[in-house]
Chains A and B, each alone.
Chain A
Amino acid sequence: MMQLSQDLIQRYHDLIETLGPEALKTMLQEMHTIRAFEERAEQLYMQGKVHGTMHLSIGQEATAVGAANAMQEGDYLLNHHRGHGHCMAWSGDPNRMMAEFMGKETGYCRGRGGSMHIADIDANNLGANGIVAGGIPIAVGVGLSIKMRRTSQVCLVIFGDGAANEGAFHESLNMASIWALPIVFLCENNQYAMSMPVEKAFNIENISQRAAAYGLPGLTVDGNDVLAVYSAVSEAAARARRGEGATLVEAKTYRYKGHSKSDKQAYRSREEVRDWQDKRDPILRFTNLLQLAGVIDAAEATQMREHALAIIDAAVAFSEASPDPNIADIMDGVYA
């Protein structure tokens, strides 16, 4: 383990230098805050305080944080139903996210969207999508718009392994390629499309291989290594910003929880989940790395977790004190 970590420090030496301690700490803190948000979300659900469903990304924090931090101010985000982490890492306000989760008027979407549809339009977060692959064709339009408006923005679209088997994925990668659109297609491969394992749903080793069919670069990274995701997405975004078009990045990660609240997880073993938790947990790994690199010490690591819990306590308090939407406003927002 120690040897492995030393190798990592070697590998990431330049990146650790470039990012600097503050950025690295922020990334780890974000990962903690996402996890604390989702643990609390699950708890609130168990307590019967939440009306809808939720899709937890616990275990996938490195992908969200690595990708979001690789993007710049003004860039666009489209993401998927398991999207709390992406939104949070994309400068999401935990109070407004929690309020949305609890269906409150103060939530990002005034309680109309819920867990699965959080958007922050003012921050160019164009929203989480409840339809598998639903955001991918929209990313093509965003890319087209960027190109026509001649700005240097880039669109990051995050979708799961399941989405790569929808037709919309294929139409969109092709269109992005022929028009050299500034898009980073990030496939967050968490090993299961609900219950369908990637080994059964694909006859290829890496989903990123599909990029070749559309003349796009494709690469697969360890989605539980926040710096690996950061590097790959940074590079893809830089390429897009240079006018060289889209990239397909596959981040291999793992969800610890079930697909949604009703999942009994009959399709996988407890040992498999435990193995990922014990050996590849993204927060533990990044914590170890930063401690070995001398960026944080053990006390700071603990503080980060405590700080995250405090942020989420405050978010819950904010949400519980927030009003429900007014029934008289039910027709609001159908038409502009």
Chain B
Amino acid sequence: MPEVRELTYAEALRECLRQLMEEDERVFLIGEDIGVYGGAFGVTAGLIEQFGAERVIDTPISEAGIAGACIGAALTGMRPIGEIQFMDFVTLSMEQLVLQAAKVRFMFGGKASVPMVLRMPGGSGTGAAAQHSESLENWFVHVPGLKVVMPSTPYDAKGLLRAAVLDNNPVIFVEHKLLYKTKGHVPEEPYIVPLSQSKVVREGEHLTVVATSIMVPRALQAAEELAKEGIELEVIDPRTLKPLDDAPIIESVKKTGRALVVHEAVEMGGFGGEIVARIAASEAFDYLEAPIRRLAGLDIPIPYNRELEYHAVPQVESILREARKLVRGEY
């Protein structure tokens, strides 16, 4: 049996970037410390050596400038891939992303396009405290004109990033710090994981769990535990949050009659609310045997203390607890 090729999530992203840059000279990288430093999380390590400083552009600490540089270059024929060092810092780019990138095409009557990708790592779990641990994906989900992608595996990271770069729209590409070192099968040849295709990553009959990013491996781990108790979770990873492919989710809930949505971002105003609403408003409503529940970050900034940080966002144990309640009717 041939050995299965494994890469980390960070390596998969890097391989994708390298392949895109080798194929298309319009593709370039721009961000803070992405050159000789290799990016704060090492994703771009080695790329400046291969492609030079003109295509792996280190910027000053200017997040609005990075976003604007991507927009202007995209509008004039390039395929920029920007990096925001921590997702938290994208707050400094918001005007450019929300009011410019997302709107120019519509505002100008459909005559301009902004084929750019902005990569950024979100999420907690590294002890980086409240200003380096944000999960702000739903801010972008709320903006027409943007696409939002959130891969949970090395395989999807590579394939979705390629799809995002080939897409002719501005794509917010949300990585997770804790996923960078996770390993998985990644083919060497370039491939696409299409945007807006939710994926059933585990089949099960008792409860549909819709999870994003780091919550996908946590949900899968919980599913293995629960399988021992005779509870089978069906785990769905939307992968692209916007535009959302909700059909597999609705189909799944029709089968299981129960749904739990899990994400790291705070519950209030989070993406989970959208999933719950879509289920509740769909034909799956008639199949529900239990309330639809959300499991999400507490409505607090991410604390520094390890124990506090751990308890601020869903973990395997909390997924287990919530899943059992829903399946056993103990809500």
A44 at the interface (CB under 8 A from B): no
Bound together, the chains give a CA A129 to CA B30 distance in angstroms of: 24
Check B95 against A131 for contact (C-beta < 8 Å): yes
Partner of B73, one of A117, A145, A334: A145
Given A109-B108, A117-B108, A141-B70, do A172 and B65 touch, yes or no (CB 8 Å)?
Answer: yes
Check B62 against A138 for contact (C-beta < 8 Å): no
Q: Which of B223-270 contact A (CB under 8 A)?
A: 243
Check A145 against B76 for contact (C-beta < 8 Å): yes
Check A141 against B68 for contact (C-beta < 8 Å): yes
List of A residues within 8 angstroms of B95 by Cβ: 131, 134, 168
Check A121 against B68 for contact (C-beta < 8 Å): no
Bound together, the chains give a CA A148 to CA B69 distance in angstroms of: 12
List of B residues within 8 angstroms of A174 by Cβ: 60, 62, 65
Check A149 against B65 for contact (C-beta < 8 Å): no
Distance (Å) between the CB of B153 and the closest chain A CB? 26
Given A168-B64, A175-B60, A335-B145, do A137 and B108 touch, yes or no (CB 8 Å)?
Answer: no
Given A126-B75, A145-B77, do A175 and B69 touch, yes or no (CB 8 Å)?
Answer: yes
Q: Which of B83-127 contact A (CB under 8 A)?
A: 95-96, 99-100, 104-115
Check A141 against B109 for contact (C-beta < 8 Å): no
Per-residue 0/1 for A83-121: is the Cβ within 8 Å of any B Cβ (1 yes, 0 no)? Answer: 000000000000000000000000111111100010101
Closest to A175 in B: B65
A76 at the interface (CB under 8 A from B): yes
Closest to A179 in B: B57
Distance (Å) between the CB of A238 and the closest chain B CB? 21
Bound together, the chains give a CA A172 to CA B65 distance in angstroms of: 6
Closest to B62 in A: A171
Partner of A333, one of B30, B65, B74, B106: B106
B78 at the interface (CB under 8 A from A): yes
- Name, among A121, A131, A149, A174, the residue most crowded by chain B CB atoms within 10 Å (CB to CB): A121
Check B110 against A333 for contact (C-beta < 8 Å): yes
A48 at the interface (CB under 8 A from B): no
Check A172 against B68 for contact (C-beta < 8 Å): yes
Bound together, the chains give a CA A230 to CA B84 distance in angstroms of: 39
Distance (Å) between the CB of B90 and the closest chain A CB? 14
Partner of B77, one of A109, A138, A149, A332: A149
Partner of A137, one of B57, B65, B74, B115: B65
A216 at the interface (CB under 8 A from B): no
Partner of B74, one of A141, A149, A167: A141
B72 at the interface (CB under 8 A from A): yes
Q: Which residues of B contact A (CB under 8 A)?
A: 28, 30, 54-55, 57, 59-60, 62, 64-65, 67-78, 80, 95-96, 99-100, 104-115, 144-145, 147, 167-169, 243
CB<8 Å pairs between A and B, sample of 9: A126-B104, A127-B108, A127-B112, A138-B100, A144-B69, A144-B78, A145-B75, A175-B60, A178-B60
Q: Which residues of A contact B (CB under 8 A)?
A: 76, 78, 107-113, 117, 119, 121-122, 126-127, 129-131, 134, 136-146, 148-149, 155, 167-168, 171-172, 174-175, 178, 332-336
